[in-house]
Amino acid sequence: MNWINNYVRPTINSLFSRRETPDNLWTKCPECGTMLFHRELKENQQVCGECGHHMLITPRERFEHLFDGGIFTEIEVPDVPLDPLTFKDQKKYPERIKAAQKKTGEKDAILVVEGEIGRTPIIAAAQDFSFMGGSMGMYVGNAIIAAAERAVATKRPFILFSAAGGARMQEGILSLMQMPRTTVAVQMLREAGLPYIVVLTHPTTGGVTASYAMLGDVQIAEPNALIGFAGARVIEQTIGEKLPEGFQRSEYLLDHGMLDRVTHRKDMRDELVTIVRMLMGMSPPVMGDLPAPKEAAETPDQPAEEK
Amino acid sequence: MANYLEFEKPLAEIESKAEELRAMGRANEEMDIEEEAKALDKKAADLLKDLYKDLTPWRKCQVARHPDRPHCKDYIEALFTEYTPLAGDRNFADDHAVMGGLARLGDTPVMVIGLEKGFDTKTRIERNFGMARPEGYRKAIRLMELADKFGLPIITLVDTPGAYPGKGAEERGQSEAIARSTEKCLQVKVPLISVIIGEGGSGGAVALATANRLLMLEHSVYSVISPEGCASILWKDAEKMREAAEALRLTAQDLNQLGVVDVIVKEPVGGAQRDRTAAIEGVGKALKATLKELAKKKPNALVKDRRQKFLSIGSKGLAA
C-alpha cells in the first residue's frame, strides 16, 4: 500500500491544488478558506466576501477606493541617505531595499498623497506592509513629516493608515529616532488645529504604535487587526503563560479603552468624511461615490479659515 | 571585585594570583612577596587599560549591563540633595521601575526621573529589572508636567533593557503611554537633559531620552533593539549577537558621530563599575555644565531647539 501513500496521493493532491489556484485569478481567504475571484476581491477592497476577513491592501489600491473618482496626487518625500550605517546582516541592506522596491514597485514603505474624499480636501498617508514589513526608517519618518507640513500649509486634515512591524533595524538608532521625529510632526498638526486621524490596520506594532500611530485625535482600527507594542511570543516567554483569544486585536483594544472605533473597510471612507467634516466645521457631506473633482475653477467648500 | 565579565577572565586570574600571594605573605612573614605582588598589580593594571581601550560593541553591551555598575538610585543619592520622591500615575499604580521626584542639583531645584534596575534579587523583582509599565511612563509624564508648571529643569537617567512586554502592560496601553511620554518630552518649556547611564533599550528609553541634550556614559549603549533580539530576527540565530551589536552602531561613540548623542561622559579605566564614585562624579560635572548652558535659553527656544534637533537627526551618516 506504500505506493498509494507515496505516489498516488501526492499526485492527486497536486492535481487538486493546482486546479485551485490558476494564475492569480483566485485567492484563497487565509481565514475561512473560501476561494475568492480576483476581480470581486478587488471590488471588495481585499475583504473576503464570505467571512469579512480584511486582507493586506497596498496603499495605492486603498487610495483608489478612498478618493473621489480614485484621483489623488503624490506628495514628494525628501530623499534620505541610503544605508547610513552600511548595515549588513545575512544580506546587505541596499539589496533588501532593492528587492522590496522591485516587489512592490514603490520607493519605500509609505505613500503620501493629497486629494478629496466626499469633496473634502485631505492629506493621507498609508504604510505598505509588503515593503520590508512596513518598517519605519528615515524615509517613513520624512514622509510623515512631509505629510504634516503639507497639511499645515494647505490647512487640510491628515489621515494616516498605519501598517508596520515596527522600526527598521537596518537603520539602527536612526530608525528609533523616527519616534520623536514623527511625534514632532503630530505636534505641528496639533498646533495648527488640524485633525489627525489614525486608522490602524493589520498589523501595527513596535515603535510605530509607540509613537505617531497612537497619537491620533481619533483612533480607528480595521476589524481583527493586530495592534500592540511587544510581540505575542515575547510576552508569552516573559510571563510564562498563554495569552487570551483575541489578545492585541482591534476588538480587544476597543474593549480595553485604547481605541475610539473599529470600522469595516467598506464603511471607512464615509466614516472618515463624516468625522473630518465635523471636526473641520464643514457642512454635512454628500455621501456616495463621487466623480473626481473638477479643476480648481469649481473649488468645493474649503475648510473654515477661522474657527 | 566580585563580578568579572567573560572577556575580563585573564584579568581575574592575575588579580586573584596577586591576592593569593599577599595572603601567603601575611601568613608567612619571612617571605618577601611585595615586589612580586606589585609586578602582578602592574600587569593587571596594564591589561585592564588594554582591555578597555578599544571595547567591541558587544563588550560594551556587557559592560553597560554590568551588575556592579552604578544605577539610577546611586546617582540620585550621590549627586542630588533633598531628594523627595513623588509616586504614582493617579490612574492605576506606582511603577517602581521608574523613580522620580524633586531634588536639588547643587542649589538648583530640579525634577529627576530615572529607570532603576535594582541591585539584588529582591530589588530587581521590585524594580521589574528596570522595565517600566504604562503607569511608569504615565508617572513620568505627570512629573514632567509638574516640573514644567513650576519651571524646574528635568533630568532623566536612563537604564533599561526596554519597556515591559507583559499582558497587563499591553492592555493598559504600553505603546500609547510611551508615545505620550515622548510627546511630553517634546512639549515641556524647561531644560530637559537626559543621561544614558547603562542600557538605552529602544522605545522604553526614547520615552525619557527625548531631550535638549543627550549625555551618554562612555561604555553605555542605546539601540533600536537588543543585539540578541536583532540576531534572532535577522540572523535567525541569537548567538550572532556580536555581529548584530557591531552592525547596529549602538555605542556612544557612533551615536555621537550620528548626531544623536551630544556629550560622551568619560568613565574610569575599567568602566564605571571599577570606580563608582569617579563615574558618578563625572556625570555630576557634565550635568551641571549642561544645565548651566541651557539655563540661559528662553522657554520657547528650548522647545524649538529640541524639536529642531530631532528633525535634523539623520542628515549625517557614518563613514564605512
Tell me which residue of B154, B130, B91, B115 sits closest to B287, measured CA to CA: B154
> In the Cβ-directed half-sphere of A277, how many Cα atoms lie within 13 Å?
19
List all residues of chain A from 10 to 69 with a beta carbon under 8 Å from chain B: none
Residues B200-216: tens digit of each pLDDT: 999 999 999 999 999 99
Q: How confident is the model at residue B36 (pLDDT cuts 50, 70, 90)?
A: confident
Identity of residue B63: V
Q: Say yes or no to pLDDT of B62 above 60.
A: yes
Q: How confident is the model at residue A292 (pLDDT cuts 50, 70, 90)?
A: confident
Mean pLDDT calculated for residue range B312-319: 70
ipTM for the whole complex: 0.93
- By percentage, how much of chain A surpasses pLDDT 70? 88
**What local confidence, expressed as pLDDT, does residue A249 receive?**
96
Residue A49: exposure state from Cβ atoms within 10 A (0-12, 13-18, ≥19): middle
Residues pairing with B156 in the sheet: B113, B194
DSSP code, position A257: T
Measured CA to CA in angstroms, residue A253 lies from A79, A167, A221, A262 at distances of: 36, 22, 9, 9
Q: What 3 state SS string does chain B have?
A: CCCCCHHHHHHHHHHHHHHHHHHHHHHCCCCCCHHHHHHHHHHHHHHHHHHHHCCCHHHHHHHHCCCCCCCHHHHHHHHCEEEEECCCCCCCCCCCCEEEEEEEECCEEEEEEEECCCCCHHHHHHCHHHCCCHHHHHHHHHHHHHHHHHCCCEEEEEEECCCCCCHHHHHCCHHHHHHHHHHHHHHCCCCEEEEEEEEEEHHHHHHHHCCCEEEEECCCEEECCCHHHHHHHHHCCHHHHHHHHHHHCCEHHHHHHCCCCCEEECCCCCCCCCCHHHHHHHHHHHHHHHHHHHHCCCHHHHHHHHHHHHHHCCCCCCCC
Q: Do B210 and A187 touch (CB under 8 A)?
A: no
Q: How confident is the model at residue A286 (pLDDT cuts 50, 70, 90)?
A: confident
Beta carbons of A206 and B201 less than 8 angstroms apart: no
Residues B100-122: tens digit of each pLDDT: 999 999 999 999 999 999 999 99
Q: How confident is the model at residue B260 (pLDDT cuts 50, 70, 90)?
A: very high
**What local confidence, expressed as pLDDT, does residue A306 receive?**
43
DSSP string, A223-240: TT-BEESS-HHHHHHHHT
**What local confidence, expressed as pLDDT, does residue A302 receive?**
53
Instruction: Indicate the residue of A179, A231, A258 with minimum beta-carbon distance to B176.
Output: A258
Instruction: Indicate the residue of A169, A187, A256 with minimum beta-carbon distance to B230.
Output: A169
Interchain CB contact of A109 with B (< 8 Å): no
CA A220 to chain CA centroid, nearest Å: 12
Measured CA to CA in angstroms, residue A248 lies from A178, A211, A274, B174, B270 at distances of: 23, 17, 27, 11, 44
SS3 A3: helix
Q: Do A211 and B186 touch (CB under 8 A)?
A: no
Q: Do B255 and A173 touch (CB under 8 A)?
A: yes
Q: What is the pTM of this model?
A: 0.90
Q: Say yes or no to pLDDT of B199 above 50.
A: yes
CA distance A27 to B233: 29
Interchain CB contact of A86 with B (< 8 Å): yes
Q: Do B167 and A243 touch (CB under 8 A)?
A: yes
CA distance B307 to B301: 10
List all residues of chain A from 219 to 278 with a beta carbon under 8 Å from chain B: 228-231, 234-235, 238-239, 241, 243, 247-248, 256-258
Find chain B residues with C-beta within 8 A of A234's C-beta: 165
Residues B77-87: tens digit of each pLDDT: 999 999 999 99
Q: Which residue of B has its CA nearest to A139?
A: B314
- By percentage, how much of chain B surpasses pLDDT 70? 98
Beta carbons of B223 and B201 less than 8 angstroms apart: yes
Residues A26-48: tens digit of each pLDDT: 899 999 999 999 999 999 999 99
Q: Do B310 and A243 touch (CB under 8 A)?
A: no
Residue with cell 572577556: B7
Nearest CA of chain B to the CA of A214: how many Å? 5
CA distance B143 to B138: 9
More reliable by pLDDT, A131 or A306: A131
> Which stretch of DSSP H or E encloses residue A267?
helix A265-279
**First and final CA of chain B: distance in angstroms?**
38
CA distance B129 to B35: 44
CA B248 to chain CA centroid, nearest Å: 18
Mean pLDDT calculated for residue range A261-279: 96
**What local confidence, expressed as pLDDT, does residue A296 receive?**
47
Nearest CA of chain B to the CA of A56: how many Å? 22
The number of residues in chain A equals: 307
Nearest CA of chain B to the CA of A172: how many Å? 5
Q: Say yes or no to pLDDT of B227 above 70.
A: yes
The C-alpha cell at B185 is 518630552
